[in-house]
């Protein structure tokens, strides 16, 4: 395991999908599906990187980065992703918000 670091990304412009969610109690297959989908997303054309954090209060944020709108749409329509999303609305999430945003500028800092 490596130390955590913000995803390494190319220069803008590219897209960010910000997924902010509040989990229901219990796992109900979430961890396994989440890991599987993270792996699958990383294999998709146009995927650039992902950062994720979840606090003890149940609120989690996943920011995935994509080359363009087309790659985001293709991942949205991926059968396994669509199925998990449907299951998630019924079992895993009390609430969520999804934002699709065009990254105009970015900078990094590292010690």
Footprint on this chain of a second copy (rule: CB under 8 A): 3-7, 9, 12, 15-16, 18, 20-22, 24, 51-55, 57-61, 63, 89, 93-111
Instruction: In angstroms, give the least distance from the CB of 41 to a second copy.
Output: 17
The verdict on whether omega for the bond into residue 13 sits within 30 degrees of 0, i.e. cis, is: yes
DSSP label of 73: H
User: Minimum CB separation from a second copy for residue 90, in Å?
Assistant: 9
Write the CA distances from 38 to 107, 110, 111, integer angstroms. Answer: 24, 25, 28
* Closest to 84 measured CA to CA, from 15, 31, 44, 46: 31
Strand partners, 47: 66
CB 54, CB 92: distance < 8 Å:
no
Give me the least distance between CB of 91 and a second copy, in Å please: 10
40 vs 52, which CB is nearer to a second copy? Answer: 52
CB of 84 to a second copy, least distance (A): 14
16 vs 84, beta carbon nearer a second copy: 16
């Amino acid at each position: 395991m490596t130390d955590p670091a913000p995803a390494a990304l190319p220069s803008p412009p590219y897209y960010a999908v910000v997924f902010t969610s509040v989990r229901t109690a219990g796992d109900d297959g979430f961890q396994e599906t989440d890991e599987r989908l993270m792996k699958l997303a990383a294999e998709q054309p146009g995927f650039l990187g992902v950062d994720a954090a979840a606090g003890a209060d149940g609120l989690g944020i996943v920011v995935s980065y994509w080359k363009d709108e087309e790659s985001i749409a293709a991942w949205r329509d991926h059968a396994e992703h669509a199925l998990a999303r449907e299951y998630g609305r019924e079992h895993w999430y009390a609430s969520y918000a999804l934002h699709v945003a065009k990254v105009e500028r970015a900078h990094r800092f590292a010690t």
